[in-house]
Amino acid sequence: MEEMSAGEWESLCDGCGRCCLNKLEDEDTGQIYFTHVGCKLLDGASCACKDYPNRSDKVPDCVRLTPANVRTLNWLPPSCGYKLVAEGRDLYWWHPLVSGDPNTVHEAGVSVRGRVEGSEEEIPDQELEDHIVQWPAVLPRRARLKRRPKD
């Protein structure tokens, strides 16, 4: 990963948007809980950042992924292309680098499309616990298949 060009590095992102959901951490156990509340810049339809080039200015706590930190961050979802490559695992059939199609991440049910309940600007921090969901930490059955299903 250290030898990748900037373009190759960016292409590891599958475009799922899961990492742009707000998360909660249990202070005692370190356990991470995903919510279905999005960062204020997350577009819940395209699943992309609405201002990717300026994201650090607009959202100072947006974490820029690097070859070093993808190995240690504990909140990347199990589907994340960076996490899979860091663990020496293969990308799944729906990853755009495998399928050649940016829509397969949505087709496989991996992206956040249609599942973002609201943005952090609409839902206050003190209500986040009421919005904890399991699905961002889980791969749907369809996404775990070896190949793209026919239907």
Is 115 near ligand SF4 (CB under 6 A)? no
As measured in angstroms, the least distance from the Cβ of 40 to ligand SF4 is 7
In the complex with ligand SF4, the residue whose CB is nearer, 13 or 108, is 13
Q: How far is the CB of 150 from ligand SF4 (least distance, A)?
A: 25
Q: Which of 24, 62, 73, 137 binds ligand SF4 (CB under 6 A)?
A: 62
Are 80 and 14 in contact by the 8 Å Cβ rule? The answer is: yes
Does 44 contact ligand SF4 by CB under 6 A? no
* % helix, strand, coil for the chain, step of 5: 30, 10, 60
Q: Which of 1, 9, 46, 55 binds ligand SF4 (CB under 6 A)?
A: 55
What is the signed CA dihedral for 123, 129, 131, 133, rounded to 10 degrees? 150
For ligand SF4, the closer CB: 58 or 141: 58
> What's the rounded Cα separation, in Å, for the pair 143 and 139?
6
- Does 94 bind ligand SF4 (CB under 6 A)? Our answer is no
> Buried (b) or exposed (e) across 58-75, using 16+ Cβ within 10 A?
ebeeeeebeeeebeebeb
41 or 108, CB closer to ligand SF4? 41
Supply 26's token pair. 């249990």
Report the residue from 14, 94, 96, 143 that binds ligand SF4 according to the rule CB under 6 A: 14
SS3 (DSSP) at 42: strand
Q: Which residues bind ligand SF4 (CB under 6 A)?
A: 13-20, 39, 41-42, 49, 55, 59, 62, 65, 76-77, 80-82
